[in-house]
Amino acid sequence: MSDLDATTPRVFLARHGETEWTKNGRYTGITDLDLTPEGVKQTTSTAAKLVGHGRLIDPARLVRIWVSPRRRAKQTFNSLFGNGDSGSGLVKSDDDRVVITEDIAEWGYGDYEGMRTGEVKKWRKERGLDGDREWSIWRDGCEGGESMDQVTVRLDGVIDEIRAMQGPLINGERPADVMLVAHGLILRAFVKRWLKYPIDQDLPMIYPPGGISVLSYKNRNVEEPGFFVGLALPADN
């Protein structure tokens, strides 16, 4: 399958742009931060290169866009689809295709909100936890927050909905691309579940602020989910 003229439905994942806590490596779940000026540049630059009619992410081919309810994700959605002061966005926030939902909000960090990984590990060990192995959010979850199983349930619900929408259109009968605009950790968890791996599966991933990932299916088969290792971008008109 060539991405140049792909008709197999795709799933675009967009991580929000930089925030002050992104820069500092702090776990940011429910804390409602704005994008930094650099974060806005990241998302508008991505939009200029990848979003638009005839581009990789073509609004005319999108049938559903899930957006996390956090402000940084909403700002990223608006940047990606040109929803500035002019109001001439490619996809407006009140479009019927747009769903604002906690289903793709960031992992609930609970007591670890605002902390760094090293701080969490140190704090847990000081209280006698993790004596035989280091803490892993993927396996151990967060005290006062979400477990691996809880995150799995909500992401699997979204994945089931996506496959129900795209399965009947797997051969390109009509456009059926979808998009998620969310957060770094939850989107990496989503990739694991899309590939049918448990969330604690060791799968090192790097996901920069403002980054775009693309998932789809092998062999036009909804039971063979995959991801693009590389992309052939549409030719300039």
- Whether residue 28 is annotated as binding a ligand: the answer is yes
- Name every residue whose Cβ is closer than 8 Å to that of residue 192 and which is 6 or more positions away in sequence: 198, 199, 201, 203
The answer on whether 36 is annotated among ligand-binding residues is: no
What is the residue whose two structure tokens read 């088969």? Answer: 221
- How many other CB atoms are found less than 10 A from the CB of residue 175? 14
- d(Cα 73, Cα 91) in Å, to the nearest integer? 15
53 is catalytic: no
Report whether 27 belongs to an annotated binding site: no
Residues 6+ apart with CB under 8 A from 11: 162, 177, 178, 179, 180, 194, 214, 215, 216
Residue 127, Cβ neighbours under 10 Å: how many? 8
107 labeled part of a ligand binding site: yes
Distances (CA, A) of 64 to 10, 70, 78, 98, 176: 11, 18, 15, 6, 8
108 appears as a binding residue in the annotation: yes
16 tagged catalytic: yes
> Contact at 8 Å (CB) between 33 and 21?
yes
Q: Which residue in 20, 102, 106, 183 is the catalytic one?
A: 106
Residue 72, marked binder: yes
Q: Which residues belong to the annotated binding site?
A: 28-29, 72, 106-109
Q: Which residues belong to the annotated binding site for substrate?
A: 28-29, 72, 106-109
Q: Which residues are catalytic?
A: 16, 106
